[in-house]
Structure 1
Amino acid sequence: MIKEEIRKALSNANLGGALTRFSEAYAVSRRKAYEGLDFEEIREKIASAKAYVAEHLDKVVQTFIKSAQANGAKVFYTKSPDEVRNYIIELAKKNNVKSIVKSKSMATEEIHLNKYLRQEGIEVDETDLGEWIIQLAGQRPSHMVLPAIHLTRYDVSDVFTKKVEPVEPDIAQMVKFARKHLRRKFLAADMGITGANIAIAETGTIVIFTNEGNGRLTMTLPKIHVAVVGVEKLVAKMEDIFPIIKALPRSATAQLITSYISFVSRPYTHIDGSQKEFHIILFDNNRSAIAKDPIFKQTLQCIRCASCLNVCPVFRLIGGHVFGKVYTGGIGTILTAWTEGLRASKDIQGLCIQCGNCVKVCPGKINIPELILEIRKRLAKEEGLSFKTKAIYSVVNNRKLFHSILRAASKLQKPFESKGLIRHLPFFLSELTQERSLPAIADVPFRDRFKKMKQPESKIKAVFFAGCLIDFAYPEVGEALVKLLNAAGIEVLFPDEQTCCGAPARYSGVMDVAANNSKQNVEALLSVDADYVVSACPTCTVALKKQFIKDIKEQNYNEKLISSAQRLAEKVFDASELVNKLIKGGRIKFKELPEITFTYHDPCHLIRSLNISQEPRESLISAGLKLVEMFESDTCCGMGGSYSLKFPEISGTILRRKLENIKKTETKLVCTDCPGCVMQIRGGIDKEGLQIEVKHSLVVLAERIK
């Protein structure tokens, strides 16, 4: 089912075009919108204010209720979506409500309110232009802020023509058309329903952001105003709203401020002079359970800006109708798991490629990829593993067996291998080589080559953690690192007992295997005394520095092993960082060779998890190369480890965009510092028959040392 939805989305040129154009424009506009502001300071304040509410949710809820009631609002607090719907339906019946207008509200989407109102014979119309369009189209929002972003003006014209009356696909005409028809709805409505962007406990005030003015008309024209507010919108004090006011429009649509910000504390007086009814429905729907979960409670720091969707390389290809349910994208996956149940997120959680692009732009400082990994863990624990998955990871869990199979595969691949690449695979495996060639497994792995390398003895020593790809597919990267460190007077050690860093198991939620890999590696790497532990794969570096400790703690290994993992982490360097440090210190020098141009691709884990981006560029420039930056150099290449095997259609589409950006630089050399990225980009370039080299930066540097 999910595969078919993906194929349909990828074949929809209008969808991909609309989302990509918006994503490109958003990146530029967002940078401008935040100029002169300290984004880190703003989001630290937002995260702190929202985290306080999560820690004191019951107290903040009661404070809000007391304050709002003192203002004259009628407040109904419930944990049940059914009770929210019933309250509104009973209120409508009591007041003989025949028609309702609604301002944009994800909370009412979450409880499918419109459907239940229509079943009771009550007319309900969305008044946000995008929401009205998709209501007429019979669809759900594809984006939390821009619900109709997946539709072109021709699509919209067609919807209006079929559902209302003919109108030309001219944007100005269609806006005028919508204004005319919606105005009638406002004037006839008996009740107005809104959501809220913020609810201030201290004052009992709700705050609503809109760009079209429809929110204010919804609140003021009908005699009854109902605000449906999830408890995650609460802040404790008035001062807590100011960083949100700064961040929400800038992060959502890259505006400096929205057109209308409305503060509502008490009932308005109706235009006929009568007193309006003002009802606030404060609802939970499992949010209090999120607040009590030590891992997921950060979810309540979300301000619903959807900036995570705007920068997601997967979302901009397939949109929210595939990547999400009521809530879309990465954050939508997490919200779905809690509001609809863990199993409801089963298919969509796998769509996250774990590039981390969302983390750097989230004004709530939510680590979305980490929370999606936690969903995978819990799904694996709740549903168990398939026989196939168990078989695969039982092999990975056994280092000797795993390595023996890789060695055997290097012989068995011969009928398909040519010049170090596998360009075609037979039968059901053919899809794996559709978008890219695959690297052949090396005849002689790095671990065997290392034993034949002559090194100078030195008091300064470094342990090299190779990882699977360098050890068995790209041993030349390992050899390059040894040469570079030797040139700096560092002796390299390589404990044979090291194994997979655990990333494949970790990213699949198979935590017992990941933890066993972590344990084996901690013991192996600390079996020799060294000043540094070096990795030339950022995914492995992240595992060494951060994940091993976490895995071992979660699987309740003993304190001695946890302490060892922490001691190991303190010694870990990514090779790109250490080599740059040695070059700057004058310990690695280069020949004077003709200058060649190159472009650079930033591996996701390197730039976002390790915050390393300039160091490898500086090293290559120091070696006599000239950099030509590519567009979106820091955007994922589509590899994502096993993601490229699970979703080759998405991975391949992301790769094609990366190749187009490389071609536009007109360089003949692409450098990167991740063997996985080398595999993905080199495989794509070979498949297209391009005369462009793709090399790990260490290989290029080693070729030029004195």
Structure 2
Amino acid sequence: MKKEFKDSVSKAVHNATLTTALGKFSEAYKVNRAKAYEGIDFEALRQNIADRKAFAASHIDLLAASFKIKAEALGAKVFLADSPDKVKEYILKVARDNNVKSVVKSKSMASEEIHLNDFLIKNGMSVKETDLGEWIIQLAGQKPSHMVMPAIHMTKEEVAELFGKEVHERLTTDIPRLVEVARKELRSKFLEADMGITGGNLAVAETGSIVLVTNEGNARMVTTLPKIHIALVGIEKFVEKFEDIVPILTALPRSATAQLLTSYCSIITGPVENTDGSMKQLHIILMDNRRTEMSHDVKFKQAMQCIRCGSCLNVCPIFRLVGGHVFGSVYTGGIGTILTAWFEALQNSEDIQGLCIQCGNCKEVCPGKLDIPDMILEIRRRLVVDKGQSLTQKAIFSVVNNRKLFHSMLRAASITGKPFTSGGFIRHLPFFLSELTEGRSLPAIAAEPFRDRFKKIKQPKLKEKAAFYAGCLIDFAYPEMGESLIKILNKAGIEVIFPQDQTCCGAPARYNGAYEVAGNNAVDNITALLKEDVKYVVSACPTCTVALEHEFIATLESLGRTDWIPQAKKLAEKTVDFSTLVKKLVDEGRLSFRQGQKLGSFTYHDSCHLRRTLKVFEQPRELLQKAGYQLTEMFECDMCCGMGGSYSIKLPEISAPILQRKLANIKNTGASIVAMDCPGCVMQIGGGLHQDGAPIKVKHTLELLVDQVEGK
């Protein structure tokens, strides 16, 4: 990452005003959004939206032609523009033909995308934003930090200062007074304006209508008072039928600001008369700017389903720490990374794509069913294809994927790390490695890895067999977890085998865009894990489980290695995470719990891959409570701990405060144990609590169950 980018991240993270404001909003949003969706089947609603928007994206040319016919029949003028320059040329011509001197605008991300304001001002026009948030950032000379709430990053003190300079008056932070100032200043601009420019939330092909959704009513003033109205609409806003707007208008306010309804919904179908009896000029510009190309791309066409609600920003643990300006462009957050890569250039997303920690929060709440994390991985893949792997990446992956060399180095590290090890943790590292132990201790490399210990474990010969996929952390840092898993499965009558040829699951390579490396990892593991006929392939690491169950197939498909797909699917069918398998064995009566035990209080941290991809969250809680532990849920139990694999190494300035927030939530429960099903989270949270000195045990679920379950 470029130094300037890293500096902007550091500056944002250390801006207490910014992080506090965004943190409070994020907390309130989650609660209010849940209330707003009460009584609504969100999954059914968003599937409805996704289906309608996907249809529109697949029939853009047809819908554009239909829209143009209907709108022009009503008296509008429709212009299809394939580039930002053509949009600006068209608007400038309309302005000059009508001697336009002053322009008022309602909120339009499409106009921000093409930097329309600067262009019109350079050509001699006065341009005034009338959305309150947009007017604030216009006065501040900034870009929007959020698609829906462009000035969310600013305090009322900063706004009061800006407004005071505009009206030459010293203003207090009294919000009603600030709103009064804005109303007074903007009202005259509406009345004086020669032209009004809006965006469009939806464009209905069936009727030639533009739908505008606002909370302040300014769009109605912009569209009615000036004699010329220009609507600039990206072609991703198309829907086929008028009835298609209903599910979108149901989801948009609830997802954007957790409101049941927006204050104003304007549907413009053809021009109307001006106050002097003349007909208003209505110009509708349908802007492409690579959107058609996006709709034809097999990976990115789903981005056309976005309804621009901004919910992906509202739940993003990274956005609430750094805000929108770190993303450096008009569109921010996860969806902004994708749009920047398309509307500007792939290389413009090179730094900002690294902000994504792959927690999956955005995917879970998106009303258009966009898989934003997967699209960001595709951006990383294309960047690697375009530029190649960095020298650092090549060096790391060449070691990790040379199994003998990698294992030898880890064994050596267990010896060289001893001077820095105490109580199973490395608290401080010397020299340039010191950053790795800022805010958390690291687990010591095991003196004897699990793969060596396994050879010494005596198991009964049992008919049913399961292959254990350990992953790197259990193998080399937490071998005792592997031993506990074997004991539990043995009690259920399952013999565990450990294929020695298993290697890295490929997640580090895949998440860094090195799909060729990840593909080789997939093939090596498929070969190793299917060598023997087993009923289950069990993993106690959700990241690894997701790799085996989902990502091997996806990676091999993307590489065109179709000959391995049948074997990858066979492996996926056998793969199961630890808690799901144990819950199944308990339900079948093959495992039971010791009765009458009271084992103390615990709180549970949901690891991102387990909860969001594997949809596993009830099983571990139920198992632990049946074992005799008392559950106290923590606040934001399903929020990322900041580990993110190599993320905590690449962006420790972001990872560390996310971890500190998680530690505070754990300590606030008063629980003596925090449980989780991910060794990566154990490493992050355990290391954080070790440096913190808090007397809270950090345990993988299997470690808490091993002595509490019994066989038949």
Q: Deviations over 1:340-359 (max 9, x none)?
A: 01001111000000000001
Structure 1 contact 324–333 (Cα < 8 Å) conserved: no
- The TM-score with structure 1 as length reference comes to 0.99
Partner of residue 62, structure 2: 59
Residue of structure 2 aligned with 1:608, choices 592, 605, 612: 612
Alpha-carbon shift at residue 163 of structure 1 (Å): 3.1
Q: Deviations over 1:262-315 (max 9, x none)?
A: 000111211222211000000100000100101100000000000000000000
Q: Which amino acid aligns with 1:336?
A: T
Q: Which amino acid aligns with 1:613?
A: F
User: For structure 1, which segment, 162-171 or 656-665, has the greater mean C-alpha deviation from structure 2 after superposition?
Assistant: 162-171
Partner of residue 578, structure 1: 581
Partner of residue 435, structure 1: 439
Structure 1 contact 315–323 (Cα < 8 Å) conserved: no
Identity %: 62
* CA distance, structure 2, for counterparts of residue 214 and residue 476 of structure 1: 63
* CA distance, structure 2, for counterparts of residue 74 and residue 558 of structure 1: 50
* CA distance, structure 1, for counterparts of residue 659 and residue 189 of structure 2: 47
Alpha-carbon shift at residue 110 of structure 1 (Å): 0.1
* CA distance, structure 2, for counterparts of residue 556 and residue 201 of structure 1: 38
Q: Which amino acid aligns with 2:427?
A: R
Q: Which amino acid aligns with 2:117?
A: N
Structure 1 contact 607–613 (Cα < 8 Å) conserved: yes
* CA distance, structure 2, for counterparts of residue 556 and residue 58 of structure 1: 30
Structure 2 contact 401–503 (Cα < 8 Å) conserved: no
Q: Deviations over 1:222-266 (max 9, x none)?
A: 000000000000011111111001000000000011001000011
- 1:539 counterpart SS class: helix
User: For structure 1, which segment, 544-553 or 625-634, has the greater mean C-alpha deviation from structure 2 after superposition?
Assistant: 544-553
* CA distance, structure 1, for counterparts of residue 163 and residue 233 of structure 2: 31
- 1:125 counterpart SS class: strand
Partner of residue 73, structure 1: 76
Residue of structure 2 aligned with 1:115, choices 112, 115, 118: 118
Alpha-carbon shift at residue 562 of structure 1 (Å): 1.6
* CA distance, structure 1, for counterparts of residue 386 and residue 565 of structure 2: 26
- Cα-Cα RMSD: 0.9
Residue of structure 2 aligned with 1:8, choices 3, 6, 11: 11
Are positions 1:32 and 2:19 aligned together?
Answer: no
Are positions 1:526 and 2:533 aligned together?
Answer: no
Query: How do 1:548-587 residues align onto structure 2 when only pairs under 5 Å count?
Result: 548-559=552-563, 561-587=564-590
User: For structure 1, which segment, 126-135 or 6-15, has the greater mean C-alpha deviation from structure 2 after superposition?
Assistant: 6-15
* CA distance, structure 1, for counterparts of residue 669 and residue 32 of structure 2: 23
Structure 2 contact 428–437 (Cα < 8 Å) conserved: yes
- 1:452 counterpart SS class: coil
Structure 1 contact 598–668 (Cα < 8 Å) conserved: yes
* CA distance, structure 2, for counterparts of residue 159 and residue 458 of structure 1: 75
Residue of structure 2 aligned with 1:695, choices 684, 696, 699: 699
Query: How do 1:380-459 residues align onto structure 2 when only pairs under 5 Å count?
Result: 380-459=384-463
Partner of residue 687, structure 2: 683
Partner of residue 282, structure 2: 278
Q: Which amino acid aligns with 2:561?
A: Y
Structure 1 contact 231–283 (Cα < 8 Å) conserved: yes
How many residues are paired up?
Answer: 705
User: For structure 1, which segment, 543-552 or 580-589, has the greater mean C-alpha deviation from structure 2 after superposition?
Assistant: 580-589
Residue of structure 2 aligned with 1:264, choices 261, 268, 272: 268
Alpha-carbon shift at residue 134 of structure 1 (Å): 0.4
Partner of residue 156, structure 2: 153
Alpha-carbon shift at residue 324 of structure 1 (Å): 4.9
Structure 1 contact 324–332 (Cα < 8 Å) conserved: no
Query: How do 1:297-336 residues align onto structure 2 when only pairs under 5 Å count?
Result: 297-336=301-340
* CA distance, structure 1, for counterparts of residue 110 and residue 541 of structure 2: 42
Residue of structure 2 aligned with 1:662, choices 666, 672, 681: 666
Partner of residue 196, structure 2: 192
* CA distance, structure 2, for counterparts of residue 595 and residue 472 of structure 1: 29
Consecutive unaligned residues of structure 2, counting only runs of 5 or more, are none
- 2:270 counterpart SS class: coil
Partner of residue 97, structure 1: 100
Structure 1 contact 210–261 (Cα < 8 Å) conserved: yes
* CA distance, structure 1, for counterparts of residue 145 and residue 702 of structure 2: 43
* CA distance 1:324–1:41, change in 2 (3 Å): farther
Partner of residue 248, structure 1: 252
Partner of residue 175, structure 1: 179
Alpha-carbon shift at residue 589 of structure 1 (Å): 2.5
Partner of residue 472, structure 1: 476
- 1:639 counterpart SS class: coil
* CA distance 1:234–1:558, change in 2 (3 Å): closer
- 2:103 counterpart SS class: strand
* CA distance, structure 2, for counterparts of residue 527 and residue 120 of structure 1: 71
Alpha-carbon shift at residue 590 of structure 1 (Å): 2.9
Partner of residue 591, structure 2: 588
Alpha-carbon shift at residue 432 of structure 1 (Å): 1.1
Residue of structure 2 aligned with 1:42, choices 31, 40, 45: 45
- 1:652 counterpart SS class: helix
Structure 2 contact 204–210 (Cα < 8 Å) conserved: yes
Alpha-carbon shift at residue 541 of structure 1 (Å): 0.4
User: For structure 1, which segment, 395-404 or 459-468, has the greater mean C-alpha deviation from structure 2 after superposition?
Assistant: 395-404
Structure 1 contact 50–301 (Cα < 8 Å) conserved: yes
Q: Deviations over 1:516-557 (max 9, x none)?
A: 000000000000110001000000000000111122222233
- 2:162 counterpart SS class: helix
Alpha-carbon shift at residue 586 of structure 1 (Å): 2.4
- 1:573 counterpart SS class: strand
Q: Which amino acid aligns with 2:47?
A: E
Are positions 1:369 and 2:345 aligned together?
Answer: no
* CA distance, structure 2, for counterparts of residue 188 and residue 6 of structure 1: 42
Structure 2 contact 488–709 (Cα < 8 Å) conserved: yes
Are positions 1:214 and 2:218 aligned together?
Answer: yes
Structure 2 contact 163–181 (Cα < 8 Å) conserved: no
Partner of residue 351, structure 1: 355
User: For structure 1, which segment, 92-101 or 366-375, has the greater mean C-alpha deviation from structure 2 after superposition?
Assistant: 92-101
